[in-house]
């Protein structure tokens, strides 16, 4: 299964989520991340990189813009917020049916957005990392039980 993780700039949340999921080494799962308003080749945020390196996780160090090719590649597209989901759907209507927020797909209740640590300190990034780790655990469980 090919999983595509989407946030705004592909420098904070989606690279963290990609690294967490990739580090789980779930058989048959490939993962990529991108941003709705990203440009290719910018470094991910310093705090995201710090956290990923602390956990010794494999990661993609540069941002990627969402692409039609990757949308077609993906079996499942998970966004960090409801507005990201709406943005993907506006640009890529063919994504309907395989597009969800991460929270909607794993535990559909309450607020469906993952907090954005952009511009925050390392503690804020740690909180987001912890939240993403919990949802990646739920995602792994859901994928391996199906």
Q: Tens digit of pLDDT for each residue in 25-69?
A: 999 999 999 999 999 999 999 999 999 999 999 999 999 999 999
Report residue 112: phi and psi, to 5°: -100, 10
Written as six digits, the tokens of 41 are 């080749």
Instruction: Give yes or no: 137 in active site.
Output: no
- Please indicate whether residue 7 is annotated as part of the active site: yes
In the set 7, 12, 22, 64, the catalytic residue is 7
Confidence at 109, pLDDT banded by 50, 70, 90 = confident
Active site residue 22: no
| Euclidean distance between CA atoms 80 and 7, whole angstroms | 5
Residue of 56, 70, 116, 137 marked catalytic: 116
Residues 6+ apart with CB under 8 A from 33: 4, 5, 6, 7, 10, 14, 15, 17, 18, 60, 64
In order of start, what are the domains of the chain with their CATH numbers? 2-145 (3.40.50.2300)
Catalytic choice (13, 22, 32, 64):
13
> 92-109 burial, b if ≥16 CB within 10 A, otherwise e?
beebeeebbbbbebbeee
| pLDDT, average across residues 117-136 | 97
Q: Is the pLDDT of residue 146 over 80?
A: no
**Per-residue pLDDT at 87 exceeds 80:** yes
pLDDT at 103 over 90: yes
């Amino acid at each position: 299964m090919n999983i595509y993780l989407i946030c705004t700039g592909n420098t904070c949340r989606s690279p963290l989520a990609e690294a967490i999921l990739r580090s789980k080494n779930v058989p048959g799962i490939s993962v990529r991340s991108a941003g709705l308003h990203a440009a290719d080749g910018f470094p991910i945020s310093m705090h995201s990189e710090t956290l990923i390196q602390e956990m010794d996780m494999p990661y993609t160090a540069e941002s990627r813009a969402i692409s039609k090719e990757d949308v077609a590649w993906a079996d499942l597209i998970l966004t960090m917020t409801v507005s990201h989901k709406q943005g993907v759907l506006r640009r890529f209507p063919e994504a309907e049916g395989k597009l969800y927020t991460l929270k909607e797909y794993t535990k559909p209740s309450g607020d469906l957005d993952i907090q954005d640590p952009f511009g925050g300190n390392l503690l804020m990034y740690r909180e987001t990392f912890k939240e993403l780790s919990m949802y990646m655990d739920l995602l792994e469980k859901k994928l391996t039980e199906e």
